[in-house]
Structure 1
């Protein structure tokens, strides 16, 4: 038995909620450095303040993936999480602009970033699995391409809000450390748009029941439960290694004078080691159905194709996080010549960053529907992704050498094409090569390789920049370019892990 083929409007309804979610992410990505700096944060403080985003994703997504795989109620399997995340995301966007009026404005803004990012992740993670749930295998590439188009379109809307409001006469400068009205109204409008878009998918899609999914999965890859059973055979040595590594990282902070954010990285390594010890002991006692054992077991026993894609994701998202943190400081300092957050030049540069982000997201929306399918048919999914990452690396190199605001628009074209491929190709490959009944947990675990590089950037990059390039954020763009070159090379290893080249071609 095969799933019904979805029409264009079926594909639209399945992913339209992601349009709203990405408005929230775009407002966060393009404005939070500006918000933090306006509220008194220095350049050196930004990585620590931004650490909320990857850390909440690291915690939330595997848990939500595991839970959504096992959920079924009158709202369905994934839709309860869409709705819950949308409600809390909208509330965080509504409250964020009130930060300057709070007793500890910078602390309040950072706290709201945690709430916002956690809520966005609650909605976002099930959307990745939702495409695999609802579509037959030969529509996976199309489904993730449509989702990517909505991501790009939502990011365009979220990124361009402040610039458009300024053109309409809304004040773009706020005296006394307050947020400009362009930023405040952008967050409020984004809250409404996010909630409406997610509700569209909740109301206009109907999920397949567990019985229907079981019928569709006959003859396909299924979960044997082997990863969790193998967990019981593990010794505690590997878990101990994580704890030792974490302790070494913590010790090196003082020994080498590293930034204090590196403590977080060491703490996470220790925490994973402790969690692994607990999970292994539970598995040895025959308690394999609990969430902790399931997550740790599936992580340690993930399929080979997922392991190879994980390396690609690691370097891909390292570059993206560098871009989100540093584009505003780079453009305002090197192109507009100002680091004074109260100056007209700084705020003009910050608004131009919104335009640049709008361009790369707009390019991504177009490339997802017009370019990726053509490249995928011609070269296959693996080579297409590698090509797109190299185009993105060229874009980052332009940021490193170009000092003209208009020319940076050209750089964003390459970055936008790479962004489209990052959002589509790895997920299409995974959805076609993983057991359907565990798509949620595997998509959630795959997010770890998006989050860990962001944590490394947030913790280690500050120490590197302080030691070698103090006050010169332009060098981060060279790091970003090199990261995408490495990701493009790592992608070439993925083909060997696919069931067959023929299988890949059939999903292109």
Structure 2
């Protein structure tokens, strides 16, 4: 714990343990593993909802009447909210003195907002129709407005929930770099579990039969399935969050512990965030650059993956519900297979890293895999178009088994780099933020790292839709930009991330 002035102190500096210890105190020990597992399991509830967003909502907004070239603007709410909300929540969770702990009040609030948001999204068509939207394939402005409000709330809530969860994992690790990496590996594993469940639910066309009330005059089969998926999402998130909040306790932190025993003065949030950015150590700066380029590569895939399968691979159009919806379900199946690979790879990251030896080699290598995967999506698109089959009426038929298998293989292989993207950057940020008393600045550190994620998302969301429209309305231009960004990210990771050394042991996986 610091004493005195904190003016020139970087919140990312890893402090050395004190050389003397009080005879009545002992060094902090990492919490029991089961506590870390319980908190990490919240990721399954979060990611179930994210899986539904990534696989079903881009097609859904087009069914509500938003053109493809404008659909990417809907996704701006995530980056914009993340730009503000996660650093803000991270900072105030670092300095929270609630009797319930630093992180748990924010986790509870975030979960409540997620549940409210998915209800708005799932029932947007019904609420819009009740407010005056017409039935049929015409544009539904009221449903769109309700959907956008729910979508904004959902992204704010997810940012409010994820940051404190990862920060709580860092708190439970008590500054141990090994335990911090294990905690983030488990978080990544449960993200994979949530993805598998979410994509499986999204790919099953008759899920709405479990909830007969989901099918209404304003909400067709596709909409009813989406609504049913979100109902399951609410139940899952509620269960894992309640279990974690009631089984893992936090100590109350006094205000003095954040103010240098009363001698220091707490810096205002934006001042501390600006100070953190101005005083970034070189490893953290490189981490932000590599992460930013990494997400320039990933976000086009996350934004358009199922739409790519439905349009470019299956040859469907939004108005052609049969073929397009079949492609969306096939894309959800591909994302589920990807999540299975993600789950196994998340557990194996530590093993692979030990054989590779250095973070920069591992991270660079997986970015090259990502670049090749995005490039192969372009190749599969060309092959699908070249081999497109039509019936006697001139309607496109589903792709051949070979084309579909190639697309599914791409989805699956991309689960390998995704496991590293979901674990290593966050573990490094937590390690940089830890100090000797375990209080650390993990919330602020993860908030700053989040800037390297949301700014690229804003860049892609602003430019990909209009750019795709210029090139004919497809998804390929965004994938090509992603492939280039992944390549550059890999090169920078290998050439600029620090090599192992005595002063860098904390940032190198042994």
TM-score greater than 0.5 by the shorter chain = yes
User: Do the aligned residues in 1 keep the contact of 2:368 with 2:490 (CA within 8 Å)?
Assistant: yes
More helix by share: 1
Whole-angstrom distance in 1 between the partners of 2:502 and 2:463: 39
Write out per-residue CA displacement over residues 451-484 of structure 1, whole angstroms, 9 at most, x where no aligned residue.
00000001122333233x1222223222222221
Whole-angstrom distance in 1 between the partners of 2:150 and 2:361: 40
Whole-angstrom distance in 2 between the partners of 1:497 and 1:125: 28
Match of 1:231? none
Of 451, 455, 458, the match for 1:455? 458
User: Do the aligned residues in 2 keep the contact of 1:360 with 1:412 (CA within 8 Å)?
Assistant: yes
| Structure with greater Cα Rg | 2
What pairs with 1:276-315 in structure 2 (closer than 5 Å)?
A: 289-315=267-293
User: TM-score, normalised on structure 1?
Assistant: 0.80
Match of 1:118? 156
Residue 493 of structure 1: CA displacement?
A: 4.3
Tell me the SS of whatever aligns to 2:414.
Answer: helix
User: Do the aligned residues in 2 keep the contact of 1:394 with 1:411 (CA within 8 Å)?
Assistant: no
Of 238, 259, 281, the match for 1:195? 238
Larger deviation, residues 77-86 vs 472-481: 472-481
What pairs with 1:73-92 in structure 2 (closer than 5 Å)?
A: 73-92=98-117
User: Do the aligned residues in 2 keep the contact of 1:393 with 1:415 (CA within 8 Å)?
Assistant: no
Whole-angstrom distance in 1 between the partners of 2:321 and 2:204: 20
Residue 392 of structure 1: CA displacement?
A: 2.0
Whole-angstrom distance in 2 between the partners of 1:206 and 1:193: 21
Whole-angstrom distance in 1 between the partners of 2:216 and 2:378: 31
Larger deviation, residues 176-185 vs 102-111: 176-185
Larger deviation, residues 201-210 vs 136-145: 201-210
Match of 2:18? none
User: Do the aligned residues in 2 keep the contact of 1:382 with 1:495 (CA within 8 Å)?
Assistant: yes
Q: Are the structure 2 counterparts of residues 470 and 503 from structure 1 closer, same or farther at C-alpha, using a change threshold of 3 Å?
A: same
Q: Are the structure 2 counterparts of residues 352 and 204 from structure 1 closer, same or farther at C-alpha, using a change threshold of 3 Å?
A: same
Match of 2:21? none
What pairs with 1:400-419 in structure 2 (closer than 5 Å)?
A: 400-402=378-380, 403=384, 404-419=403-418
Match of 2:10? none
Which ranges in structure 2 are unaligned for 5 or more consecutive residues?
A: 1-25, 132-141, 385-402
Whole-angstrom distance in 2 between the partners of 1:346 and 1:85: 34
Tell me the SS of whatever aligns to 2:318.
Answer: coil
What pairs with 1:38-437 in structure 2 (closer than 5 Å)?
A: 38-101=63-126, 102=128, 103=131, 104-135=142-173, 136-164=176-204, 166=206, 178=220, 179-208=222-251, 210=253, 289-402=267-380, 403=384, 404-436=403-435, 437=440
Of 441, 444, 451, the match for 1:441? 444
State the aligned residue count: 438
Whole-angstrom distance in 2 between the partners of 1:208 and 1:491: 38
User: TM-score, normalised on structure 2?
Assistant: 0.79
User: Do the aligned residues in 2 keep the contact of 1:392 with 1:481 (CA within 8 Å)?
Assistant: yes
Which ranges in structure 1 are unaligned for 5 or more consecutive residues?
A: 215-221, 225-285
Match of 2:50? 25
Whole-angstrom distance in 1 between the partners of 2:244 and 2:266: 34
Of 469, 472, 495, the match for 1:470? 472
Q: Are the structure 2 counterparts of residues 77 and 130 from structure 1 closer, same or farther at C-alpha, using a change threshold of 3 Å?
A: same
Tell me the SS of whatever aligns to 1:405.
Answer: helix
Whole-angstrom distance in 1 between the partners of 2:291 and 2:338: 19
Larger deviation, residues 391-400 vs 158-167: 158-167
Of 486, 489, 492, the match for 2:491? 489
